[in-house]
Structure 1
Amino acid sequence: MATTEECRSALDRLSDNLAQANGDVRGAAALDRSLSCHITDLDLTFTGRLDDGRIVVLDTLPGPPLGKAQIRLAMKSDDLVAMVNGELNFAKAWASGRVRLEAAFRDLLRLRTLL
């Protein structure tokens, strides 16, 4: 199981990767939406925003998300770290239920480019 610090570092690296992306990936990530990432095995939630292609983490809270962010992710800590390190394919993890992604239909259509 990854630590809280490793998960936070993974989100920072993901943010850097999105910010450096080009083309369709950059366009898909260029949303301004509230965001939550619930790490199920640590039972904590990172909350923040997806803002112009960057993930801005504003808080880390115990338990599941208190409010309903516009983009909601849920996964185990090791899966987050593995995805950011390129060891786990997001689309396969999502299709198998290892990662949950919830968002409005229009946002899902834009985010599918990231898969």
Structure 2
Amino acid sequence: MATTQECRDALERLAENLASADGDVRSAAAMDRSLSCHVTDLDTTFAGRLAGGRIEVRDSHPGPPREKAQIRLAMTGNDLVAMVGGRLNFAKAWASGRVKLEAGFRDLLKLRTLL
């Protein structure tokens, strides 16, 4: 089972990957939205913003998200680490229910280029 620190490190790597992306990925990540990632097996939520092509984790706390973010993710720590490490395909994990993604319709349309 991935630790809280490994999950935080994975989110930081994801932020770096998005910041250095170009083309469709960069434009999809250029939204300004609140973001939460609930790591279900650790019962920990990371909250922050997706802005300017970067993810900024501002807070982490035990339990489910305290506020409803505009983009909400939920998955196990192992799946988060595997996804960022390239060992788990996001689209397949989402389709199988291993990863949950909730967002407004327009945001989902933009985010599909990240899949």
- Scaled by the length of structure 1, the TM-score of the pair is 0.99
Identity %: 76
Q: Distance in 1 between matches of 2:94 and 2:29?
A: 18
Runs of 4+ in structure 1 deviating by more than 3 angstroms, as ranges, are none
2:87 aligned partner = 87
Tell me the CA shift for residue 76 of structure 1.
Answer: 0.1
1:114 aligned partner = 114
Q: Deviations over 1:36-72 (max 9, x none)?
A: 0000000000000001111100000100001100000
1:34 aligned partner = 34
Residue segments in structure 1 that go unaligned for 5+ positions in a row: none
1:49 aligned partner = 49
- Scaled by the length of structure 2, the TM-score of the pair is 0.99
Aligned length: 115
Q: Distance in 2 between matches of 1:53 and 1:71?
A: 14
Q: Distance in 1 between matches of 2:90 and 2:12?
A: 17
Q: Deviations over 1:72-95 (max 9, x none)?
A: 000000000000000000000000
Two-structure CA RMSD over aligned residues (Å): 0.4
Tell me the CA shift for residue 3 of structure 1.
Answer: 0.3
2:70 aligned partner = 70
